[in-house]
Amino acid sequence: MTSSKESTAGANPAAISLAKRAQLLKPSPILMLAARAGEMKAAGKDVISLSIGEPDWGTFDRIKEAAIASIRKGQTKYTPSSGIPELRKAVAAQASADLDMKFDFTEVTVSSGAKFVLFAALQAMVDPGDEVILVAPFWASYTTMVELADGVPRIAICDEDTNFKLTPAILEKAITPKTKVLLLNSPSNPTGLIYTREELAAIAEVLRKYPKIAVISDDIYNRLCFTDKLAPHLLHVAPDLRSRVVILNGASKTYSMTGWRIGWAIGPKAVITAMSNYQSQSVSCASASGQYGALEGVLNCDDDVARTVTVLKDKRDFLVAELSKVPGLKTVVPEGAFYLWVGIKPYLGKKYKGEVIHGSADLCQRLLEDKLVAAVPGVEFGLEGYLRLSYALEKEKGQEAIRRLGALVAEFT
Ligand SMILES: Cc1ncc(COP(=O)(O)O)c(C=O)c1O
């Protein structure tokens, strides 16, 4: 008989048996797809990647200059684990203006990207068995992060019937005595949709009935918004919930600083302190020069961001129109971020080159291998029947990618 230890050792030549936590861990499917597309590109193939959630415009020059100046000044050492006070103060001031309520810098913590900050928040808030409500479609990393905190993801499916948004009725149904956190994301990755003030007010009404439920509001795309300068926020309509809301944001998307790895959270001091302690015992602190760069972004880059949003909106309009030319595809018109959420249901169950295309993963595989376009299957976001296309790329490339998608589905029988 083979014990589980032996079988793990077989898969692991160093004979170190992996912790259960590590066995649970799957690599990010989006990063895997991007890596496969990268390999194909390196092999000389003309691959167009619509897979990764990354701005295609460079980090704004003034941010680069500020970071270089900080290095020249010798600001290259460890920083406090909650971040440099200047950045925490700037973030607190920005959030105070955005939400029309006063935040102190001690209510802010900064670390290595919003992803890690979310990880730290879940570690600080979730006990084993606690449930975290995730609104599907959701950002693919949420589920694993909840599981790594020994929490239980409770998926609230929100399909086209509710315009992919959480409603009071769906929220009520998802709540159990074990619910600890509701994770909200607006503008949403993958749909680009934004909750209106009225929709947020209705969610707040339910939350008031359950005082023990905390909210993590993932606002990473809140400045990449086409409907207004800033996306509406739960705290705009329900300031009374402030003591149980943790806001997540960062420099990656707004200031095109994905590789600099700077993110932050704003919230009640006890949680922020616990997160900073977690950060101090894990990554110590975010990179010093990254923080000085992000500081310039928060303080002085509103005009650059506004220009970016204008360009993105133009691309959105153009590519939504291109997609509408492909029969059978149903595209959600995004109100923010840089993703297109495209319905492909009429094509599922059909045959391509004699093989049945069962789901979005099959379709994406064929799209990549045969038409050289990398897109992310909707199933990775918890909802089957869709593709997510990132449109942070040149218009012409986006147009060509859509032409290839059209050519693929035209071959379905
Ligand atoms: C919804 C959402 N939240 C958080 C993040 C994390 O951003 P970062 O870790 O680059 O700051 C991302 C990145 O793709 C995202 O899409």
pLDDT surpassing 70 at residue 8: no
Instruction: Read off the pLDDT of each residue in 153-173 and give the average, rounded to a whole number.
Output: 98
First to last CA, the chain: 48
For the ranges 29-43, 215-229, 289-303, 338-352, which has the lowest average pLDDT? Answer: 29-43
* Position 2 confidence tier, pLDDT thresholds 50, 70, 90: very low
* Position 58 confidence tier, pLDDT thresholds 50, 70, 90: very high
CATH number of 78-301: 3.40.640.10
pLDDT of 303 reads: 97
**How many whole angstroms separate alpha carbon 220 and alpha carbon 108?**
15
Backbone angles phi, psi at 273, to 5 degrees: -65, -45
**How many whole angstroms separate alpha carbon 195 and alpha carbon 241?**
17
List the domain boundaries for the chain: 4-58+304-410, 78-301
> CB under 6 Å to ligand 1: residues?
53, 113-115, 139, 185, 189, 218, 220, 250, 252, 258, 263
CA 218 to ligand 1 centroid distance, Å: 8
pLDDT of 27 reads: 77
CA 356 to ligand 1 centroid distance, Å: 34
The amino acid sitting at 356 is V
Atom of ligand 1 nearest to the CA of 218: 3
CA 371 to ligand 1 centroid distance, Å: 28
Atom of ligand 1 nearest to the CA of 185: 1
Q: Check: CATH 3.40.50.410 for 4-58+304-410?
A: no
Instruction: Read off the pLDDT of each residue in 21-32 and give the average, rounded to a whole number.
Output: 80
The whole-chain average pLDDT of the chain stands at: 94
Atom of ligand 1 nearest to the CA of 118: 4
The residue whose CB lies within 8 Å of the most ligand 1 atoms, and thus the one to mutate among 220, 257, 262, 376, is 220
The residue whose CB lies within 8 Å of the most ligand 1 atoms, and thus the one to mutate among 117, 189, 247, 338, is 189
Count the Cβ atoms, other than its own, within 10 Å of residue 333.
15
* Position 33 confidence tier, pLDDT thresholds 50, 70, 90: confident
The residue whose CB lies within 8 Å of the most ligand 1 atoms, and thus the one to mutate among 28, 59, 115, is 115
CB 291 within 8 A of CB 110: yes
CA 318 to ligand 1 centroid distance, Å: 25
- Take atom 7 of ligand 1 and give the residue whose Cα is closest: 114
User: Model's pTM, two decimal places?
Assistant: 0.94
- Contacts of residue 268, defined as CB under 8 A and 6 or more positions apart, other chains included, come to 107, 242, 243, 244, 246
Instruction: Read off the pLDDT of each residue in 6-27 and give the average, rounded to a whole number.
Output: 71
